[in-house]
Amino acid sequence: MSQTESTISEARLAANRENAQKSHGPTSPEGKAKSCLNAVKSGLTGKTLLFLTPQERGEYVLHVDSYETEFQPVGPEERALVQSIADIRWRLNQIPGLELAILATGSLKFIQDNPGYDTPETDTCRELEVRRRHEKELRNLNLQENRLARRREREAAELERRQTARRAKEEDALAEAAKASLLAQHRKQPLAQVPGLGFVFSEQRFTTYMTRLTPAQKAKFLQTALAESPEAPQTMEATA
C-alpha cells in the first residue's frame, strides 16, 4: 500500500469513527430527553405519563388522591387497581383535547394551502376535508378511547369484586370478634387476644364496630356465643 493510500485510509477511518459517534444520538441530558419524546405520539398507550408543566403534574396528583379517597383501597392489589383506573381516566380525559389539536393543526395547514377557505361560510367544508385528511389519526384516537374504556370497566369490576369479598370477610371476622369479646365480658374473664385483630381489621375498626352495635345486636351475639361455647347450657331456661 502506498503512502497516499495509507493516508486516505486513515482519513476515511477517522471519518467513519466520527460518523459512528454522531449516530449514537444526543449525549446531553437535554438532548436525550428530547430524543425520548420523539417516540411519543399521543401518550395514551404507554405506562409512563408525560406532564407538560408542574401545574399539570400537580393536577394529576390531586386526581389520583380523589380516587384514593373515593375507593379507600386496602392492600397492594386494590391500590394497584385504583391507580390504574385513575390513570385510565386521566388518559381518557386527554382524548377530546388531542382530537381538537389534530383538527386545529389540520385546519391551519389547510387554510395556509387554501386561503379561500378561511371564512365562516366554509367552516363545515373545511372541517370535513381536515377530518378526511386526518382520518387515520382520528380513528386511532377512537380505537384507543374504546380500548381504555373497556379496560377501565374490567378493572372497576375487579376492584368491586375484591372489595366486596374483603368487606364480607371483614364483617364475618368482626362478628366473631364481637362474640368473643361479649362472651368474655359476660363471664368476667380477660380476653387474651381478639380474633382477627391486626390481621383482618384494626383496633380502631373493631372499636367503631362495637360502638355501633345496638343492645339487641349485642344480646343476639352473646346468645350465639353462649350456644357455640363448650360451657354453654343445654336449654334455653338455663341460658335465661
pLDDT at 49: 75
End-to-end CA distance of the chain: 116
For residue 231, the model assigns a pLDDT of: 64
Own/partner contacts of 121-130, CB < 8 Å, gap of 24 or more, are 127/103, 130/103, 130/106
pLDDT at 53: 86
Please say whether the beta carbons of 159 and 140 come within 8 A. no
Amino acid identity of 171? E
- How far is the C-alpha of 145 from the C-alpha of 232, rounded, in Å? 62
Residue 197's DSSP bridge partners are 201
The yes-or-no verdict on residue 72 having pLDDT over 70 is yes
Question: Who contacts 181 (Cβ-Cβ below 8 Å, separation ≥6)?
Answer: 191, 194, 210
- What per-residue confidence (pLDDT) applies to 33? 40
Sign of the Cα torsion 38, 43, 47, 52 reads positive
What's the grid cell of residue 175? 362478628
Region 190-205: what's the mean pLDDT? 89
Locus of grid cell 339487641: 216
